[in-house]
Amino acid sequence: MENILDYTLEELQIWMKENGESSFRAKQIFDWIYKNEWNFENMLNLSKKTIKNISENFYIGIPEIIREIKSDIDGTQKLLLALKDNNLIEAVVMKYKYGNSICISTQIGCRMGCKFCASTVGGMIRNLTAGEMLGEILKAQNKIGDRISNVVLMGTGEPLDNYDNVMKFLKIVNSKYGLNIGQRHITLSTCGIVPNIIKLADEKLQITLAISLHAPNDLIRKKTMPIANKYSINQIIEACKYYINKTNRRITFEYALINRLNDKNEHAKELSNLLKGLLCHVNLIPVNEVTESGFVRSTSESINNFRKILEHNGIETTVRREMGSDINAACGQLRRSYMKGSLK
């Protein structure tokens, strides 16, 4: 059986025609699914024949919530979700004045090996399908009883390492017959797979691209990010220039500040020179302290000094607001704790 969430409306219409059904039934089914009806038997405007036909060929791949934690500070909710094959993924729902945002996973585990990230501990198991990513959002919306209007592909996994499934997900989530979330309300974060940044640029989407840079030079980057051994910072910057030229979209550079490693004034000046003239924005992130890494977050003084130097050099900069800091809302932490048996 197939997950019906992996189908676009057009694909389901074709399937219906090929299997003796009227193509308009596809839209009826999608209407029910996106109104949180996940049992074919309850889709009242479908004939018994149609229900039998789709039930024998499809399931609706909504994950089950295994554990949930809600922040007492800002209401951020972290969901540990079980897929049909019992693999575990995470999603984080954040509430803002402008609406609800969700940070979703794109893979089960991750093979990029970034040393400050809990998602990479244990490596990668497999890619998520487009429908499994979509299922994270549908389940979260059902849980909070409200619409999610912003999506961030920054949870467990490297989105550009799962390129085809992610592109299909973006198509479905943006569709007016799907969740109808505008491309400009979607952010995709990558550690810097250069060929796929270029490939993404050629798609000419209007999503926001975020680059996990975390260092002003290759020497420092190689200490924390194995991908730096394959693609240099200069290659990444050239790919970013190509992306900006193709899409006219501003790029966000994510920079996790690690005490004494990449947070000195000299590093801020070097980063300023690197990004000078680019249509970009820098998001400074106090690093999440993962036990296995041994990294410690920068002091408040170092963070402020870093920001001031960037801004003085004309680089638009923000310090990321920490959401769900009391529940370890960073990607990979809840799944890792659960699998280690430290959560009951």
Per DSSP bridges, beta strands 280-286 and 88-96 are unpaired
Q: Does 344 have pLDDT greater than 80?
A: no
The pLDDT value recorded for residue 332 is: 54
The number of CA neighbours under 13 Å toward the Cβ of 200 is 34
This prediction has a pTM of 0.93
The pLDDT value recorded for residue 311 is: 98
Query: Looking at residues 254-262, what average pLDDT do you find?
Result: 94
CA angle 299, 305, 309 (to 5 degrees): 150
Confidence of residue 326 (pLDDT cuts 50, 70, 90): low
Q: Does 203 have pLDDT greater than 50?
A: yes
Percent of the chain scoring above 90 in pLDDT: 83
The pLDDT value recorded for residue 341 is: 58
CA angle 192, 320, 295 (to 5 degrees): 65
| Sign of the four-CA dihedral 335, 134, 125, 323 | negative
Q: Does 170 have pLDDT greater than 70?
A: yes
Q: Does 37 have pLDDT greater than 60?
A: yes
Residues 64-340, CATH architecture: Alpha-Beta Barrel (3.20)
Confidence of residue 293 (pLDDT cuts 50, 70, 90): low
Identify the three-state secondary structure at position 256: strand
Q: Does 286 have pLDDT greater than 90?
A: no
Catalytic residues: 90, 331
For the chain, the domains span 2-59, 64-340
What CATH number labels 2-59? 1.10.150.530
Q: Does 343 have pLDDT greater than 50?
A: no
Query: Looking at residues 330-339, what average pLDDT do you find?
Result: 57
10-14, 73-77, 285-289, range with greatest mean pLDDT: 10-14
Mean pLDDT score of the chain: 92
Q: How far apart are CA 26 and CA 4, in angstroms?
A: 10
pLDDT tens, residue by residue, 22-34: 999 999 999 999 9
Q: Does 238 have pLDDT greater than 50?
A: yes
pLDDT tens, residue by residue, 102-139: 999 999 999 999 988 877 777 899 999 999 999 999 99
pLDDT tens, residue by residue, 59-94: 999 999 999 999 888 889 999 999 999 999 999 999
The pLDDT value recorded for residue 251 is: 98
What DSSP string describes 104-152?
A: E-SEEE-SS--TT-GGGTT-EEEEPPHHHHHHHHHHHHHHHTS-EEEEE
